[in-house]
Structure 1
Amino acid sequence: MPQSKALAFALVAPALLFLAATLGWPLVQAVQLSLQDVRVIGAPGNFVGLDNYERVLANPAFWSAARLSLVWVVANAVLQTALALAVALVLNEKFPGVRIARTWVILTWIVPTVVVVVIWRWLFSTSGGMINPLLIQAGIVERPVGFFATPWTALATLVFINSWRWFPFIALMMLAGLTRIPDELYEAARIDGASPWQRFRRITWPLLAPTLGVLAVIGTLLSFNVFDIIWLLTSGGPAGGSRTLPVLIYETAFKGYRLSEAATISVLATLMLMAFAIVATRALDRSDDR
């Protein structure tokens, strides 16, 4: 090994060891727990092999939660990306107060989750909330809508709230990518008579695509693991309509007192995310090589 590579490895070795200890050890413990029959924290367990995996994979609740997690991730990705891209394009323009706007847009992301839940629960309430009166006055609905009353309306409302919570962070990441695009390209396109849509399609979108790809991977991993907003607003209901895999893991461990089974679901969810991350990373690498 060349001396420069050896020095580089020695410098990053402490960080790698720290990551191995903080990430690898809990994962090993989860795998070990999934192979036992522990029901509550601290209780002894016996080795049962793959029995927990057979039980989980045969449980319709697991596949229902996995399907809802997929819907949750895709819906959040679409809505967050659309909102973030629109805001980033606006903040990339030059207008009075743009610096203040760039600072204030991040406020929804730094607000504590509990505060976000309290605000939106009140806004969407059928008694005293502001959303229903506005919809009725606009003629969109004739009577108050129970946003958390049915499975699909509850899931759609949760997607909206979570996207509102996270899109400012993604917008700032997109804005950072937009600021790296040379202004000379836009000036040349304007001189050639390109319309705003043509400038976006030919310049902005291709040069922003690598940033969007990285954000898609990170956003998917973050959205998949969202638990606090779902649990605080619906607790996975109604009728399991918002019971994603993180919610199912919590219910299995701390309401059903089946800790090993919850660890099994965690391991399976981790394998899903790892497979997605590997495929997505390779796809990004291939796109960069073109």
Structure 2
Amino acid sequence: MQATQTNDLAPSGRRARKPRESRNLSNLVFILPSIALSLTIIGYPIFEVLRMAVMDVNRFGKIRGFEGFGNFIKIFSDPVFIQSSWQTLIWTVSVVGGTVLVAVPVAIVLNEDFHGRSIARTIILLPWAVSLAMTALVWRFVVNGDFGTLNLALTQLGLPFNNHPWLADAQSAFAIEILVGILVSVPFTVTIILGGLTSIPVTLYEAAAMDGATRWQSLRRITLPMLSPFLQIAIVLNVIYVFNSFPIIWIMTNGGPANGTDILITYVYKQAFAFGKLDVAAAGSVVMFLMLLCFSVLYLFMTRNRSTDG
């Protein structure tokens, strides 16, 4: 009797597996075009950059021979590359950190119900609607030493900034570019944090108020912990975005003066299009890719450990 029941169940199990397998196969067929498109648009350029990084390439893109790790030795022996790497770290940490510090209180204020909130939200999002190139060009004129409006405003306040060359000094130029980077990154970050704030149940704040919690305690105990996943997303996306940000620095200073504001993306651009060293530029691009890959892996590792501990 038991043998008969086992024989009856076996075909039904096989029948259950067949629809599942056919469904998985049909799903694979549907996503194959997108996979092929991704491999073509993303995979092929990555392969070409990796190939050029280990080859001797002239300025016209013609491969003259195998170079091996020679191009990587060249960039790591270049003091400008080392300087650009440190400046990339300072640029990324400063812009992303400053953006988060500004965006969190702004988003909290915009989440409150007050008269004119819609107008305030629109004003905050305006820098996001303008292209980076246009924003950088406008700020280049604002801080111009001869006819910039910044010097004019400071001079009218009685401060000694008449014809002050802000972009002629590497430190002041880099600081201004960091401020502009924060300005253009805040709207996107505010949008992410606002999405997180709207997902927090109001009942949590009501219960905390009934228990006698102050606004600061509610912010520290409820808002910030509940915003943690959204802040992680904002930080990761901003790091990738800012690390590869090209227009602000290139339009305002071209990486100058004396490479004092160069970051890796402008260094690679100069190697490729100013000096015609396509192989060295490819090696620098590979190093940048590996840096971001290490950051992404580290982030995934940290979030996985945090979710496991939780």
Q: Which moved more, 1:92-101 or 1:166-175?
A: 92-101
User: CA separation in 2, counterparts of 1:89 and 1:138?
Assistant: 33
Q: CA deviation at 1:152?
A: 1.4
Hey, what does 1:283 align to over in structure 2?
A: 302
CA distance in 2, matches of 1:85, 1:273: 25
Contact 2:137 2:251 in 1 (8 A): no
2:78 equivalent to 1:59: yes
RMSD: 1.9
Please, which runs of 5 or more residues in structure 2 have no aligned partner? 1-16
Identity %: 32
Residue equivalent to 2:285:
266
**Which of 215, 220, 223 is the matching residue for 1:204?**
223
Question: Does the 8 Å contact 1:210/1:284 carry over to 2?
Answer: no
Out of 215, 229, 233, the residue aligned to residue 214 of structure 1 is 233
The one-letter code sitting in structure 2 at the alignment partner of 1:70 is L
Equivalence for 1:19: 38
Counterparts in 2 of 1:11 and 1:100: CA distance versus 1, 3 Å: farther
Instruction: Give distance in 2, aligned partners of 1:50 and 1:81.
Output: 39
Contact 1:34–1:264 (CA under 8 A) maintained in structure 2: yes
1:22-101 aligned at under 5 Å gives the runs 22-101=41-120
Q: In 1, are the aligned partners of 2:56 and 2:64 still within 8 Å (CA)? A: yes
CA distance in 1, matches of 2:277, 2:125: 40
Question: In structure 2, do the counterparts of structure 1 residues 199 and 142 end up closer, same or farther at CA, with 3 Å as the change threshold?
Answer: same
> Of 106, 114, 130, which residue of structure 1 is paired with 2:149?
130
Aligned partner of 1:143 among 148, 153, 161: 161
Residue 247 (str. 1) matches residue 266 (str. 2): yes
8 A Cα contact 1:124 1:131, kept in partner: yes
Instruction: State the TM-score, normalizing by the size of structure 1.
Output: 0.93
Compare the two structures and name the one with the higher helix fraction.
2
Q: State the alpha-carbon separation in 2 of the partners of residues 136 and 183 from structure 1.
A: 49
Aligned-partner Cα distance in 1 for 2:47–2:69: 15
Is there any run of 5+ residues in structure 1 with no aligned partner, and where? none
Count of matched residue pairs: 289
267-276 or 4-13: bigger deviation = 4-13
Contact persistence 2:136–2:248 (CA under 8 A): yes
Query: Which residue number in structure 2 is paired with residue 119 of structure 1?
Result: 138
Q: Which amino acid aligns with 1:25?
A: Y
After the TM superposition, which of the residue ranges 165-174 and 120-129 deviates more from structure 2? 120-129
Counterpart Cα distance in 2 of 1:33 and 1:137: 55
Tell me, in whole angstroms, the C-alpha distance in 2 between the residues paired with 1:55 and 1:121.
33
**Which whole-Å deviations, capped at 9, do the CAs of 1:74-105 have from their partners, x for residues lacking one?**
00011111121122111111112222332332
